[in-house]
Structure 1
Amino acid sequence: MKRYVAALTAVLLSGCGSMNSMNPVDWFASEDNAEKPAELVGLKGSVAVRTLWSTSVGSGADEQRVKLVPFVEGNRIYAADSNGIVKALDAASGRALWSVDTELDISGGPGAGDGLVLIGTSNAELVALDSTNGSERWRARVSSEILSVPKISQGIAVAHTIDGKLFGFDAASGKQAWIYDRSVPVLTLHGSSSPVISGNAVICGFASGRLVSIELETGNPIWEVSVTAPRGRSELERMVDIDGDPLIIDGVIYVATYQGEMAAVSQDTGVVLWRRKLSSYTGLGADWRQLYISDDSDFVWAVDPRNGSKLWKNDKLKARRLSAPAVLGEHVVVGDYQGYLHWLSNEDGRLLGRTRVGEDPITTTPVVVDGVVYVYGDGGDLAAVSGSK
C-alpha cells in the first residue's frame, strides 16, 4: 500500500485526481521506486501452447485504461477498440465477418445478445449495433462514461456508469426502462464492475464496496450488502472498490474488493457466507472445485469456495500486473504487462508454460470457450490459443 502513496499524492496535488484518477497499474508505472517485476525463468515446457489464429482489432485499448473484452456468442467473437472499430469474427478461424468504424470513443464492451452488440462510450452513450452486419440500431444517453461491459437479457440492456449508476434500457427501442443510483466515494479506481444477469436479477459491484441485486425488469432493489466497509483516515486508505466482475456459481456470488476482502454471498438473500482478507482489482476464475484470483501484488491464489481458505499461492509472477485468471481444463491462465500468457497447474499453482500474444499488456481477462483461450492485448492483438500436455 505504501508504494502507491507518493504517485497518487502527486496527482492529487496537480489537481487532476479527485475521482477515478488512477488504477494501481498506473501507480506501478509512474512511481520511481515501484517494485521490480519478477523475471521470467525457463520452463520445462510441460504444456504445449499453440496459437490457433491471431489478428488485429484496430488500436486496442490504446493506453486509455478502458474495459474492452472479447465476447463470444455461438460461433462468433465480437471485439472493439477504443477508437471506434467493432468487429465480428469467426471464432474458429479468426476470419472477419464484418467490421465497422463507429467513430466513437469506445470505453466498455462489447456485450452481445438478443441480436445486438452493445458498446459503451467515454461520451456517456450506450450504443446498440445489429449483430448480423454492425449497423447501428439505437443509441441512448447515460449519465457518465461506461467503463464496464454492457449486458443484455430478456429484452433489457444494462449498463453500469463510472458515477455509480445502473441503467436498464428496452433492447428493441433503446428507451430507458429504469435507473438505479449509488453514490460513489471521492476517490476511486479508474474502472467499474460489469453487471452480471442471472435469471431475473442483475448483480453488480460498486466503488463503495457494496454488492447489489436488483430486478432486471423493473430496477427495483432485491438486496444490498457491504462486502468491505471503508476503513482508515484518508480517502486513499478508504478505497474499497469492486472493479472485478462478480462470479456466480450454484446460487453463490463470489466477489473481491480492492484493499478489502474476498467474499461469498448468497444470491437469493444477500447474506455473506464467508469473508477473507484479500485485496484485488481484477475478477475471479473457477472450476468445479476451486476459485482462482490475482491479488494486488500479482500473486495468484487458489481458494476453497466453501470457506475461503487458501489452497495454494503462486508468487513467481509478482508485480507483473496480471489479468484475472481464466480456467482451461487442468490449467489456470493469466496475462501480464509484457503480453505473456502464463499457464499454471490447478493442483498446486506451478508454472507449466507460457506464450506471448504481442508486446502490449494483457489487462482484460482471457475468455475460455470450448477448450480455446481467446486473449486480447491492449495494443489490439486478438488471438485464439490452446494448450495440452
Structure 2
Amino acid sequence: MMNENWPDDAQPASENNSQASEEIALPEPLDLRPEYQEMPELPSLDEPTEFLIKGENSPPLLSSPDITATQTQLQQLVATSLADLEAQRAGLIREIEKLERRRERIQKELKQNFVGASQDLAIRIQGFKDYLVNSLQDLATTAEQLELIPTIPPTPATPTAAPETKGTAKLHLAEESFQEEAKRIQKLIEQYRQNPNYYGPAWQLRRTFEPIHAERVETWFFDLGGRGALRSMNSRLQNILVAAAIISILRDFYDDTLRVLILADSPERLGDWRRGLQDCLGITRTDFGPDRGVALFESADALAFRADRLEQDDYLPLILIDDSQESVNLSMLQFPLLLGFAPEPQLRQPKSGGLDFFE
C-alpha cells in the first residue's frame, strides 16, 4: 500500500542509484598550462637543504661586507686596548723605578742622620755604662771586705807609714839620686817632641807633642816631684794629652806595675778621658777596668780605697784628677803619684771647703 501512494517521480533508492551510476561518467584530465607543468619537484625532507625556516620577527642575516667591517672594528679595538695597556704598564714601571730610587735616597739620609744624631747619645750611654760597671765592681770589692761576724782585730800598724815608705822606695823623684832617671825622662820628652811615633806599641804616646805640653810634663816631674796639680789648659783634650805623656813615661819605668786611677764628677767627663787615652796611647776598652791598667771613678772614696788595695798588691797607683773637681779628698794625699788639673781661678765656682793644689 505504501508503494502505491508514492508519487510518480519518486522511485526506490536502489533504482535511482543504479541509474545514476550508468549516467555519471569520469571527468577528463585537467589541461594545465605549460608554466605549471614545468615546476620543479620539492626536495625531500631527508636530503640537506640550504633553506632556513625563519619566524616573522627573526633579524636578517649579515652580509659578507658587514662581517668584514665588524671584524676590522674588533681588531682595531683590541689593538687600541693593547696599546693603552702597554702605555699604562710602561708608566707603572717608571713610577716603580722612581719610588725605588726615592726609597734608597730616604734610607741613605735616614742612616746618615741617625748615625750623626745618635753618636753623642751613644757616647753618653757608654760613659754612664762604664761608670756603673766600675761602681758595681767597687761595691762588690767593698762587700767582700765587710766582716759580718765582729772579731777583735789585731793592733794594726800605722796605715800611712807603709805606703809612704813603699812609694818613696819606688819613685825617688825629689832625691839627688834622681839624676839618671831625670836624663831618661828628658830623653823621652825630647823623643815625643821631635820624633813622634804614631804607630808605636800600646801605652806609648802617639800624638804630636808641643813645647807647651813638654813644659807641663817637666814641671810635674822635676818641680812637683810627681805629686801636685798643674794649671788646666784650654780644653780637656789638652789635659789628657799631658796626662798621656806622663803615663807613657811612667810605663817605660814601671811597665805593668803602674795603674792609672782617674777621678771626674760625671760619666760624660770620664768618657772623654777614656776616649782621649785610647787615642793618645793606642789602648783599647779591654785596658779599662778596676783590675786593668786604667780605672775610672766618680767617687773619691772609692778611688782611695782602690788605690790602697793596689798598693797592698804591690802595684803603683797614679791618680789623675779632672779639672771639674773643686776639692781634693784628703785620703788621696797619702799616695805618692798624684796629678790634678786646676782650672783658672776666675772660672772656679765658690766651694764650701776642701784642699786644692795649683801649679
Larger radius of gyration: 2
Normalized per residue, which structure has more helix?
2
Normalized per residue, which structure has more strand?
1
Higher-RCO chain (CA-CA 8 Å, sequence separation at least 6): 2
Task: Indicate whether the TM-score tops 0.5.
Answer: no
